[in-house]
Structure 1
Amino acid sequence: MINTVEKVRSHFWIYAIAVFISQLDGGTVSTMLPALTRTFGLSSVNSSWVAGIYTLGLVIGTPIASNLSDIYGAKKIFMGELGIWFLGALLTGIAPTYGLFLLGRFILALGDCGIIVLSINLMLHTAGHQRQGRKVSVVGVVSGLASIFAPIFVGLTLAFTGNWRAFYYSLLPFIAILFLLVWRILDNEVKEEQWQTDFPGLTAFTIFITSFMLFLTFIQQFNTYKYLIFALIVVAAISLWTFIRVERNIAPNKMPFLPINLLKKPAYSLTLLLGLLGGTLFAVFIYIPTYVHTVFHLPMRLSGMTLVVTGLGSVIGSWIGGLMVDKLGNKRTLIISAASIGLSGLLIIFGLSQLRLFTIFSFILGLGLGSFMSAPLQVIAGRMAGKGNRVQAIGGLSTTKKIGAIVAPIVYASVIQLNVNNGHMGIQVYRGIFVLLVVIAVISIIVTSLIPFTKEENL
């Protein structure tokens, strides 16, 4: 028994460390972007691909890693992810051109994409039914801490070395050590059923999601890329039609690329919709430093500190969300979390002109976002899927969250344009963003109330 407990703890810490290191990247882009711009001579349009190509890799790679994990086992896929991650970090660090740098970022994302999904699966697998929320919330807490620590770490790296490449070089030994730990400590899984990989479905879905993500990227500059946009729509439509046909006629010995049986359940489909809405809500983080800089005329460095307050709120909210799932159930947790997001949005709308009030309300906003995004959705997806294709179910949810985070800037940018007064970016512009935040929170409450939970899924 002691050996089993010690083994579970060692697995837990390996995954926690992997999540922390992998999530560092999300908080480094804004800090490194000026240095990258100088190195490669980037325009504002070109620089947007630094984050965009990474997100594209995450959205493409997450369902693939989830599917392959259910077929070949977590250890093999985890080791493969770490190997790809190492290669991506190395290529990004040594890249002599911007094109190779973007390729390195894309590979880096493919190596990072499955780590959180595999970690959540481990938490659900090792926790008792009444402690799953608290276990899963650990992933959210670690991710939040990484996002807070990342700018500090990169800032120190730049201060001591003067070179952004040093950050990626510093990742290499950690990834290598993690690889050795996984190889030595994690157990090889013996699958009860021997599945074959659904390569036609995998290929069709990858083409579809790539076309769709590129469409979302280029639609913001429609006049410049209109012919490419039309081509992407055609490719996405054909690949989606092909994917659906392949999945409907899949052989019995092949695992479907996506859990089609789950998608037919209204409860899971609505949970994915909540993931999409949650990703849209979470994207409001992007606008907080710019708001503080524009409205209160603080330097951008000081403006960015307000983001730490919201991030700290999300870390605490992640832990609270896990606790609420275990004590109150998934449905109540989601409704309370969405309500707190909507309430904080309303408070921000009426307190936008006062920095102190905005800081307090943004902390409350972080609490709501953390509790909404951390535990309840993952626990719902995991319980609906069961052990057989739990990683796929969680991977699908993770993908919809990322799509929501990509769609959000387009929606928020439209709101900004509607409220700009003669080119002036004032309080009214940002009031529109937080009004939209409140609307999305209300929609999330309505969607949650419509989910037909079974007793087991809600407890």
Structure 2
Amino acid sequence: MSTSFRWITAVTSLAFVVAQLDVSIVNIALPEIAKTFKADMSVLQWVIDAYALAFAVLMLSAGNLSDLFGARQVFQWGMLIFGAASIGCGFAGNAGMLIAWRAVQGLGAATMIPSSLAILNQHFAHLPEIRARAVGLWTAAGSAAIAAGPIAGGVIISVSNWRYIFFVNAPLCILGMLLTLGLPKNELPELKRKIDFPGTIAWMIAITTLIGAIIEGPKLSITHPLIYGACILSAISFIVFIILEKKGTHPMLPLYLFHSGSFNVLLLLGALLNGFYYGTVFILSLYLQNVLHYSSLTAGFAFLPLTIGFVISNLASAAIINKFGIRKPILAGLIMFALGFAGLLIANEQTPYWQLFLPFLVIPMGMGLAVPAMTTGILSSVDKQLSGTASAALNTVRQAAGATGVAILGAAAAGDSTDILHAISLSVHVAIACTFLLMVLIYLKLKARY
């Protein structure tokens, strides 16, 4: 393994660690944040979704910037923005300021992630086996971070308070900025395109109004003018976005990427995995603390099997992909994902932790098999000059689905213990049904050579 491989993989993986850590570390702090700001469920959903939403809304534009100005430079911008926004979150004086800074964090994450994948693809596209290994390590780092987030959050809160879960990002971002100085410069010519401002605005309106309607719907009721007005505006904006991308000379999302059935089904896979995982971890955090009455520290360590499951399967994924292609690991991962969700059916007000351990382990193991294979398939389906845009498309779909999952399941869990248990049951049944339908599509749409 060459020094350049180690350096490039380490630097890009650090960005994924920082971005993914903030997806999950905040979950464990929600009860403390609620106490500090006297926040209700919709405010807590916005604390989570402001980040995921900005991540999803701005990812495509950031992917374009990566292809236009060079992945290394855009990567550095992302690190700087994320670090500054994290400090802002830590000093937030009210819930509104916290939500605003979380959105800025999402901007930084949206800038880092597609550029980090673009760096990997640009340097290893000509070496498929090495690229699979690099993507596996990159995914393993991010997956371990998202799973370790609740543990880290529980430890930090037990010795200080929730604000320090944001302050810890600053030194990581400074380290990332320093490490980027050793990255090889982008050798690819910059693409002669312009930023798609009309498409960006249409996409931002479409996804923001949709998620906003889902989060605020239970509080205002679906018949409220603001809710159905937001749904109508979202639908119109989506249509406008498609028209702009189809007719524009410099679209931020070239629609010809969707001519490939395998590309489409892999995007759908990303949406399913993130939507159910993000939404379920959100309500499981509430379940552990509000139903089983675990402390923040105990609840954080209860998520330890998620870290173990992700790390084991991600580290094994490269060898599995190189031996079997991507279709078989994805199918195997989806079977494990469904079985893990089925194990959550035992959750009730007196469930002992040992019964939760296995589903907490199996769900991330399934994702850890499927996600690296999915990412490798997406990157191999496009020219490496468009790797930033392709990775942005994948992660946009994943983050939008994650925000939607939190919004829907959070709305279902808004209430007492009975509502939280109902939300878990809803998540399990729908996740299993969708997973098996997707397995059929994966088998049909992905060629055997994949």
TM-score range normalised by the length of the shorter chain:
0.7 to 0.9
- Match 2:240 to one of 234, 239, 242: 242
Amino acid at match of 2:397: T
Which blocks of at least 5 consecutive residues in structure 1 are unaligned? none
List aligned pairs for 1:150-165, cutoff 5 A.
150-160=149-159, 162-165=160-163
Which residue among 215, 221, 224 is the counterpart of 1:223?
A: 221
The 1-side partners of 2:89 and 2:332 are apart by 42
Aligned counterpart in structure 1 of residue 313 of structure 2, from 313, 317, 342: 317
Change (3 A) 1:308 1:77: same
Q: What CA deviation, in whole Å up to 9, does each residue of 1:406-456 have, x standing for no partner?
A: 333465578879xx9x9856988755543333212211211201214384x
What TM-score do you get using the length of structure 2 for normalisation? 0.86
CA gap 1:7/1:135 in 2 versus in 1, 3 angstroms: closer
Q: Distance in 2 between matches of 1:35 and 1:300?
A: 9
Residue 137 of structure 1, CA deviation: 1.6
Which structure would you say has the larger RCO, counting Cα contacts within 8 Å and 6 or more residues apart?
2
CA contact under 8 A between 2:62 and 2:111: conserved in structure 1?
A: yes
Tell me the amino acid that sits aligned with residue 440 of structure 1: C
Output aligned runs, 1:18-417, within 5 Å.
Answer: 18-127=15-124, 128-160=127-159, 162-183=160-181, 185-191=183-189, 193-223=191-221, 226-251=224-249, 254=250, 256-283=251-278, 284-288=280-284, 301-346=297-342, 349=345, 355-373=353-371, 375-409=372-406, 412=409
Q: 1:71 to 1:376 in 2, by over 3 A?
A: same
Provide the C-alpha distance between the structure 2 equivalents of 1:78 and 1:320, rounded to a whole number of angstroms: 27
1:113 is paired with a residue whose SS is helix
Unaligned regions of 5+ residues in structure 2, if any?
Answer: none
Question: 2-side partners of 1:378 and 1:207: how far apart?
Answer: 27
The alpha carbon displacement at 1:198 in A equals 2.0
- Counterpart residue identity of residue 369, structure 1: M
Most deviating of 398-407 and 36-45: 36-45
User: Aligned in 2, Cα 1:49/1:156: closer, same or farther, shift over 3 Å?
Assistant: same
In structure 2, the residue corresponding to 1:389 is in which secondary structure?
Answer: helix
Paired residues of 1:31 and 1:155 also in contact (CA < 8 A): yes
Q: Note the alpha carbon deviations across 1:301-339, whole angstroms, 9 max, x for none.
A: 545533221332122122233332211111111111112
- Contact 2:15-2:79 at 8 Å conserved across structures: no
CA distance in structure 2 between the partners assigned to 1:431 and 1:165 by the alignment: 32
> In the alignment, does 2:444 pair up with 1:450?
yes
User: 1:441 is matched by which residue type in structure 2?
Assistant: T
Which residue, out of 434, 441, 445, partners 1:440? 434
Whether the aligned pair in 2 keeps the contact of 1:124 and 1:379 (CA below 8 Å) is no
Shift of 1:259: 2.4
Higher gyration radius (CA): 1
Residue 385 of structure 2 aligns to a residue in which SS?
Answer: coil
In structure 1, how many angstroms separate the alpha carbons of the residues matched to 2:293 and 2:33?
A: 26
Q: What CA distance in whole angstroms lies between the structure 2 residues aligned with 1:179 and 1:102?
A: 25
Aligned-residue RMSD, C-alpha? 3.2
Determine if contact 1:201/1:247 at 8 Å carries over to the other structure.
yes
Alignment check: 8 A CA contact 1:416 1:433 kept: no
1:106 CA drift (Å):
0.8
The CA distance in 1 between the partners of 2:96 and 2:317, in whole Å, is 41
Determine the C-alpha separation between the residues in 1 that align with 2:31 and 2:290: 19
Using the TM superposition, give the Cα deviation of residue 346 of structure 1 relative to its aligned residue in structure 2, in angstroms. 4.1
Amino acid at match of 1:437: A
Q: Work out whether residues 132 and 326 of structure 1, in 8 Å CA contact, stay in contact via their aligned partners in 2.
A: no
**5 Å matches for 1:423-438?**
424=418, 430-431=424-425, 433-438=427-432
- Alignment partners' CA distance in 2, 1:71 and 1:170: 32
Identity of counterpart residues, as a percentage?
20
Change (3 A) 1:172 1:323: same
Distance 2:161 2:338 in 1: 42
State the Cα deviation string for residues 50-108 of structure 1 (Å, max 9, x = none). 11211111111211111111111101211221222133123223333332222111111
> Is residue 27–residue 48 contact of structure 2 (8 Å, CA) maintained in 1?
no
**1:6-25 correspondence runs (5 A):** 6-25=3-22
Q: Quick check: 355-364 or 197-206, which moved more?
A: 355-364
Q: CA deviation at 1:401?
A: 1.5
Q: Residues 166 and 200 from structure 1, CA distance in 2 versus in 1: closer, same or farther, beyond 3 angstroms?
A: same
The answer on whether the counterparts of 1:20 and 1:142 sit within 8 Å (CA) in structure 2 is yes
Q: Amino acid of the residue matched to residue 438 of structure 2?
A: S
Compared CA separation, residues 93 and 410, structure 1 to 2 (3 A): closer
Alpha-carbon spacing, 1:405–1:426, altered in 2? closer, same or farther (3 Å): closer
In structure 2, give the amino acid aligned to 1:322: A
Displacement of 1:24 in angstroms is 2.4
**Mapped partners of 2:377, 2:154: distance in 1:** 38
